[in-house]
Amino acid sequence: MSPQLQVNGWVKAAVVLSGSLFGLAAAAATSQLLGSERISINGGCGWDGEFYCAMLKGTVVPEPYSRRILLPFLARQVSADTLTGFWVVNVLSLAAVTILAMYIAWKLRPEELRASLDAGLVPPLAVGAAFLSARNSFHIIATYPALTDALGLLFLVGAIALVVLPVPPRARWVLIPICFLAPLSREQLAAVIAGALVLAGLMRLLPWLTALSALAASLLGGAIALRQPHLGGAQPLRGTVKYWLDHDFGSWQGFFRFIVMVMLAFGPFLLVLGLARGWNRTALWIVSVAAIFTAISLFAGGDTDRILTPAGLLIVLAASISVTKNERALLGLALLVAAYAVQQAPFARVGGDPVAWLTFFGLRVTTIDSVVHNGLVPLLIGLPIAVAGFILLLAGGRQRSDPHSRVKASHNLHEPPW
């Protein structure tokens, strides 16, 4: 049986910090949803969103937008001629995926945290704060509701939940409709989910019959997405990858933009991968899903920071159920999320003017000065907080490896000075 955590100053600080971060992130998301201006281009639909708005009315559009039929279908059930349907579906999707991720972090929290309600709340609160404060979740949807990322993220995390949570075997069969619908929101999810299910079978997280049945459903959904009527426009996969490789590595400006966007997507959560050797099987599988997602999506489009946001969020979810086994590590996780929130700038108000909008969200096409101001500078401001969090995680790892650490903890030798 695992030793129980001592509720001392480290734990209290982690609870206060994670709770404060969650409250601030929820306030930021609510403020953005209620107070942000819609982007003024194409009647509020935006650039890519113009095609989804056309699909709302039954118009055939170019690839790859023609493949993403689920969001326009659901939005049409709310409103057939306004952006309200997109807003409602995406906000509900983001709220649901945030709650689901928090539930996973709570349900799978380390054994050491289960005797203390305070300590056990830190992982779900930290995960919730990360999902709420991400620049490309509630913040972007508040100004640009005609996007498919939120719905795709919900299906991806929903599939992960059914693999990792202790649910009855029959409940896992819900994976079949989820895996079928996921590629109809974002077509690349067919490949991501297929790889994730095979890996879940190999790691004995999922019975092979269930995994293969859900895999077939995912491939069927992907095939249906690819066979939708369209007006052309999509390059072959090899041509798309070559285009973005040339764009990202053909000049120093392109490479600089690419690095900043990748760092914004993952934030400080990349640091915790250095501790993954001691993670449990479930956390390693979630990180592997993030890696599969990254490999498939990295050069799938121009908005790299938006496209890769789910991978960063999956890493913090995995970390929350693995690295938080002692007092210092709990505070370390909360500090990493604090750094992420600083880097994402969730309270930044972005107007509806297209140029102003691109200055903040369009790092691929805005000026280099804007990339520095809205990308690099927040990353550097959050870096010292991230380093402090990582140091605490390292100290927590050493504490777990010390056979005498629990004896010392029982005598409060790890009590910090507050």
User: Number of C-alpha atoms within 13 angstroms, CB side, residue 1?
Assistant: 6
* Omega before 64 within 30 of 0, i.e. cis: yes
Supply φ then ψ for residue 280, to 5 degrees: -75, 170
pLDDT at 275: 84
What are the tens digits of pLDDT across the range 355-410? 999 999 998 888 999 999 999 999 999 999 999 999 999 887 665 544 444 434 33
Report whether 97 contacts 108 (CB < 8 A). Answer: no
Secondary structure in 3-state letters for 332-379: HHHHHHHHHHHHHCCCCCCCCCHHHHHHHHCCCCCCHHHHHHHHHHHH
| Residue type at position 323 | V
Full-prediction pTM beyond 0.85? yes
Note the pLDDT tens digit of each residue in 170-209. Answer: 999 999 999 999 999 999 999 999 999 999 999 999 999 9
Q: What does the H/E/C string look like for 291-329?
A: HHHHHHHCCCCCCHHHHHHHHHHHHHHHHHCCCCCCHHH
Q: Residues 6 or more apart from 314 whose CB is under 8 A from it?
A: 157, 160, 286, 287, 289, 290, 293
User: Of how many residues is the chain composed?
Assistant: 418
Arithmetic mean of pLDDT over the chain? 89
Contact by Cβ (8 Å): 278, 65: no
